[in-house]
Amino acid sequence: MCAGTKHPQAALPNLLIVAPSQDLRQSLKFAFEAEGYQVAAVSWIDDLKPAPGSVDCTIVDHHAVEVPGPDGPQFCADYSPVVLLANLAPHALSGAVFRTVQKPLLGATLSFAVRIAVSSRTNPT
């Protein structure tokens, strides 16, 4: 390899985090940025700035989505694949999301779910 030769870098996967708790939102943002993701984070689905289809994976806390009602399933369809953080599994939205991860978050469970979700979007089978 010649010095000064530039190789194109693969685009970093884009994540969207939706969580009303500022502490949860900021810690998830920090952790996933440290893993090499580009991260946008908002409190509620009403605060969304990224357009549907512009993210590779969405992590949403169940408190940020209105259930029952049309907002939850429509949001999951628009921002798919969605990893749902829920206090209980199964959750009312479990059928509309890629994966449900039960809180409290322990170990690498969420990170693994996000990697699989991103992979499913970038390498559909």
Q: pLDDT tens-digit profile of 3-58?
A: 444 444 567 899 999 999 999 999 999 999 999 999 999 998 877 776 777 899 99
Indicate which CATH number applies to the domain containing 92. 3.40.50.2300
Domain residue limits at 81: 15-120
Q: How many domains does the chain have?
A: 1
SS3 for 7?
A: coil
> Pick from 96, 104, 99, 95: which is nearest to 116 by CA?
99
| Higher local confidence (pLDDT), 49 or 125 | 49
* Cis before 73 (ω within 30): no
What pLDDT sits at residue 1?
A: 42
Identify the weakest region by mean pLDDT among 5-9, 71-75, 117-121.
5-9
Q: Is 125 domain-assigned?
A: no
Q: Is 10 domain-assigned?
A: no
Q: Is 116 domain-assigned?
A: yes
